[in-house]
Structure 1
Amino acid sequence: MRQAETVTFGGAGSDRHSGLRADPARVAALLADPAARVLPLWRGKPLVAGPARDHLGWLQPGCEALDLADPPVLLGLSPEGPRFAADLSRWQPAETDAAALAAFFDPSEQYHPALPTDHLFAELRGVMTRLSPAEAEYAATARAILGWHRTHGFCAACGAPTELTMAGWQRRCPSCGAHHFPRTDPVVIMLVTRGNSVLLGRSPGWPERMYSLLAGFMEPGETIEAAVRREVREETGVQVGAVSYLASQPWPFPASLMIGCRGIALSEALALDPVEIEDALWLPREELATVFADAHPAIAAPRRGAIAHFLLRNWLADRLD
């Protein structure tokens, strides 16, 4: 698919300079560079700046707000200088909305008193399409790697506390010597078509009217093609024949790689798994056009920036080649 790398979080090609991670002295020198900047995240929310929330709030390493429990993670080297990410989650805002923080999409924003008033922590899914491709990639990487650190503080082999190493790209157990590496979970997401119609579904708890493509985690010992056929069959009863790859997207909510595929349906009848799927339907291309025009009375499109939105829009425009 020629448009594949224009998906949100993909195609910027930032230089991670992974070869520097094993050199603590070099990493320390990069952090001391006057051009170095750190992107703080609070509970997975990146710091964004400006009235439009359209760029990241990079801070100098010595900024008063950066009261960190762990060293920053090296994201790479940009043309402007070294770039790092840091978890600021132990900071407690003066006020928080517990209901908003637990919602499917958290619209709340948090202000740190040591920062300019136009710098706020915001849900990445709400600002991802406003960021430049390079900044979107940095934000996605930072959210995924810092989220992994928050949930992997103990050794899976012996249970002892682990420590951050390799500029944040590894955790080491000082007790048994085990090394632990960041995890990415592969997820297949399927543009399943039958003639001029596409298969859409919605899960329980989703925002009202929102429908999307079917998706599911791959299982051990499974090919991409087998995962596509299994997930569609389990969730809707539809049999899928030919499967082809379209595009992929890092999706750091919390740490997935969305593998976008096209599947050609061999059957049409629906038999839903009520645990996974609240509703599913076949939608003709002409009706999908009204969904993307926000004119459909019962169906809303997936969120802009998500690969489901990207694949559906390209199918609608006949740009899957």
Structure 2
Amino acid sequence: MTIDSPMPFGFAFQGNPLDRQSEHRGDAAWLARHRDSAAARYVFFCEGRVVADVRGETPGLLQPRAFGDRIGLDGEDVLLGFGDSDAAPVFAARLAVSVEALETDTPGVKCIDVRSLAAQAGLPAGDLGMVAQASSLLHWHATHRFCSRCGAESAMTQGGYRRDCPACGGLHFPRTDPVAIMLVTHGDDCLLGRPPRLPEGVHSTLAGFIEPGETIEEAVRREVFEEAGIHVGAVSYLASQPWPFPASLMIGCQGTATTRAITMDESELEACRWFSRDEVRAMLADTHPDGVRVPPALSIAHWLIRTWVERG
């Protein structure tokens, strides 16, 4: 069964079309049967990069199991889900080879980092959602091999969606880190900041991890006050985006400021100010006289900003 997963927003990593069939993942015989199926396809990673067949017009991300068996797998594979039918399982795995060796020995293959892949145009709908799922799961397994309760080495189970500790019985599940990302507005202006990690000239929405025991609305208000000294009243949810760096969920919101005076946290931001709608329109067109611009279209930050401008 294919999941009907429309992509109405236009930013990257949404619209994963795979049916994850979580109800079957605990059946080892079922997993083995599909893993050995001739129809099984894999998203392979090499040193954190996606292995792509670049001989066509767009990168081909799905390879047969034999490709990985020939080169060698680094750890176990994980089930991503099923595509067009129950006979088309999709897995993900890491290859036990260097990028240099793989690209040298395999004509037509290139290893592309996830962010660069997302910036390319023309990929089939849903491919990036599948890549986000694969990247996040494989990173979790690579960094959580040992039980956090007793330190013993754990074992992958449930098709890659759990690790079990044989020593103390602990059950460990992949984590997704929620992040509040918000466009704060006041009248016809919006608040944009510039963290040091962004390219020169780029200003973006504010964002921060949601802390334990905190609602999304509380996280929006806390982060904006901590970074910019602005008080926020009403908060509304707009959209979300998987962000596989390594495994976050960006929860896109809009907040209405109740104050305007900025007190910037210089340890978090290099710049922060109010921009008028006309200024932001120029930033989107890359025609702002000061050379400032917004993040690329692959991010939900870009979508939040553009939506505010276009909706007036």
Shift of 1:114: 4.5
Shift of 1:3: 7.8
Segments of 5+ residues of structure 1 without an aligned counterpart are 96-110
User: 2:164 — aligned with what?
Assistant: 172
Q: 53, 63, 70: which is aligned to 1:49?
A: 53
2:137 and 2:295 mapped to 1: Cα distance? 25
User: 2:232 — aligned with what?
Assistant: 240
2:148 and 2:41 mapped to 1: Cα distance? 33
User: 2:103 — aligned with what?
Assistant: 112
Contact 2:180–2:252 (8 Å) recurs in 1: yes
Shift of 1:52: 7.7
Shift of 1:5: 5.3
1:158 aligns with 2:165: no
Shift of 1:286: 0.8
Counterpart AA for 1:115: T
1:304 aligns with 2:297: yes
Within-5 A mapping of 1:66-85 = 66-79=71-84, 81-85=88-92
Structure 1 residues 294 and 275 mapped into 2: Cα distance closer, same or farther (>3 Å)?
same
Contact 1:53–1:127 (8 Å) recurs in 2: no
The Cα offsets for residues 229-251 of structure 1, whole Å up to 9 and x where unpaired, read as: 00000000011010000001111
Structure 1 residues 3 and 62 mapped into 2: Cα distance closer, same or farther (>3 Å)?
closer
1:123 aligns with 2:132: no
Counterpart AA for 2:110: L
User: 1:33 — aligned with what?
Assistant: 37
SS in 1 for 2:182: strand
User: 2:186 — aligned with what?
Assistant: 194
SS in 2 for 1:112: helix
Shift of 1:112: 2.9
1:23 aligns with 2:41: no
1:198 and 1:43 mapped to 2: Cα distance? 40
SS in 2 for 1:62: helix
- TM-score between both structures, scaled by the size of structure 1: 0.88
Contact 2:227–2:264 (8 Å) recurs in 1: yes
1:86 aligns with 2:86: no
User: 2:265 — aligned with what?
Assistant: 273
Counterpart AA for 2:228: T
Shift of 1:209: 1.0
1:9 and 1:24 mapped to 2: Cα distance? 29
1:44 and 1:20 mapped to 2: Cα distance? 28
Query: Cα RMSD (Å) of the superposition?
Result: 2.1
1:260 and 1:53 mapped to 2: Cα distance? 33
Q: Which moved more, 1:126-135 or 1:242-251?
A: 126-135
Structure 1 residues 52 and 273 mapped into 2: Cα distance closer, same or farther (>3 Å)?
farther
Q: Which moved more, 1:310-319 or 1:213-222?
A: 310-319
Counterpart AA for 1:19: E
Structure 1 residues 307 and 84 mapped into 2: Cα distance closer, same or farther (>3 Å)?
same
2:212 and 2:237 mapped to 1: Cα distance? 19
Aligned length: 301
Counterpart AA for 1:246: L
User: 2:3 — aligned with what?
Assistant: none
